[in-house]
Structure 1
């Protein structure tokens, strides 16, 4: 049994239940891409096209530790600045053979910013990239470390 084709003026639709036609799929793809760019968050002028990788920042007694997910990125493609931890880099689009039917990978410039307190040892910042996770350790200055005071009874 064949299903009827619905036609509307100016639009070509496929048979119901068998997927969208090429013009409609292209419109949805374009709309999805524009919405994704809009929802990436507020951007500043120099990095208007940057997006932010998933990252965690935690505080220990001795340091601030930031872990950012950057799979497939090379060490040379990452730049860091002090005072305000700023990790920037670029995912370059790979060359492919054939027709790309769907892609959910982000490409282009990325940026992660985290303000650091004034009480850190900026000259002793340590960073390592292992299995796609960039770990940055920012040691605290001596004055910033919590001091435990024992209370005695009198």
Structure 2
């Protein structure tokens, strides 16, 4: 797409730029988005299967990757941690508490959750450790020997 060229005098020259109403492209975009959303056709059963992702941080040291995932109110037995060569998956279900009275406002998610992270290097899957403390799940993933940085001395 060619853009208008501005001259020193402030006028515009149109070169291959078909002029439309400025809002025509936005209207087209909104129409396509509406068709897309309608094609999803959310039904009550599909809404029940929807999952949410907990907040998490992932940081790297020379030897490990560490993932800290916020799961307040969760018990160890309600959380699953799975790891493959390049993928970490934390999942489970946060059940809604029974309450007295009428719930006026909901701000915390309930139901199935899933957190996934791609790991950038080979890891030692058999040495992964996970600990739950104060509502934060910490998963420590050791790097494989080949993934660790190694200093190469320059000779000559």
Taking structure 2 as the reference length, the TM-score comes to 0.64
Paired residues for 1:24-103 under 5 Å: 48-83=49-84, 84-103=87-106
| Structure 1 segments of 4+ aligned residues over 3 angstroms from their partners | none
Taking structure 1 as the reference length, the TM-score comes to 0.65
Secondary structure of 2:98's partner? coil
Q: 1:59 deviation in Å?
A: 1.2
Structure 2 stretches lacking a partner, 5+ long: 1-36, 38-45
Separation in 1 of the partners of 2:106 and 2:121? 42
Residues 12-65 of structure 1, C-alpha deviation per residue, up to 9 Å, x if partnerless? xxxxxxxxxxxxxxxxxxxxxxxxxx9xxxxxx9x9510100111111100111
Query: Which protein is bigger by CA-based radius of gyration?
Result: 2
Secondary structure of 2:77's partner? helix
**Residues paired across the two proteins, number:** 109
Q: 1:118 deviation in Å?
A: 5.2
CA RMSD of aligned residues (A): 2.0
